[in-house]
Amino acid sequence: MMSGENSVDSKCSLSGLAPLEAVLFDVDGTLCDSDPLHYYAFREMLQEIGFNGGVPITEDFFVQHIAGNHNEDIASFLFPDDHPRGVKFLEDKEAMYRRLAKEQVQPINGLYKLMKWIEDRGLKRAAVTNAPRLNAELMISLLGLSDFFEAVILGSDCARAKPFPDPYLKALEVLNVSKDHTVVFEDSVSGIKAGVAAGLPVVGLTTRNPDHLLMKAKPTFLIKDYEDPKLWAALEELDRKAGAATGST
């Protein structure tokens, strides 16, 4: 049994996945810290139309009711009596977001280190997101990851978007991999619930959403970003177990 600094807290273990076959990533808040831009766009545009009596929405409101959700559901929530207006509002909001994103999107700390780890092991990978296609493709392109992902699965392409498992189940099907050898990275309650409902272990990122909220969705464990020692201890353990299984040293 391992001991000392290199040992992995049993609560933070991914070793049951060995040998790892695939890695699935959400986009907003998981590849890049984009939630502040979404929040800004929602706050400005909702205030402009007099939502909530013209009082700006709070970040807590954004986290509770908007972050990670599919636009159809957001439209229904914000405009329960006029869904078509809600859909049009969301289209305009996404256009504003894309203008902001072109200037301000930054990768999550350690992202490219993890991408290299994945590439070095020849793992399959897909982006799985509730974002509209234009947003998802723009984010992935701005981050220089267009050639990294083998597939981009959208909530709108499935019968049900996150928090239902359908997008993650579709990703497994498209990549032709087993849920028993695939890990998910997510940053929202909605996304974690979707991965867990699909029977996948989910590593949650505390990019913007509070730990206590994310833990309610039952992730395998939480990390601050992709430099988090907890993540790398878990990945090293995965490598050791995979090596032992193949008889390598």
Separation of alpha carbons 60 and 167, rounded Å: 26
pTM for this prediction: 0.90
For residues 236-248, average pLDDT: 81
Name the helix (H) or strand (E) containing 211. helix 211-215
CA triple 92-98-99, angle to 5 deg = 95
Mean pLDDT (the chain) is: 93
Give 247's pLDDT tier (boundaries 50, 70, 90): low
Sign of the Cα torsion 228, 230, 235, 236 reads positive
Pairwise CA distance, residues 200 & 28, whole Å: 19
What is the tens place of the pLDDT at every residue in 130-153? 999 999 999 999 999 999 999 999
Cα distance between residue 128 and residue 28, in whole Å = 10
178-232 pLDDT per residue, tens: 999 999 999 999 999 999 999 999 999 999 899 999 999 999 999 999 999 999 9
Percent of the chain with pLDDT over 90: 90
What does the block give as tokens for 212? 């206590």
* Mean predicted confidence (pLDDT) in 74-96: 96
Q: Does the structure show a pLDDT above 70 at 249?
A: no
Catalytic sites, residue numbers: 26, 28
Three-state secondary structure of 197-208: HCCCCEEEECCC
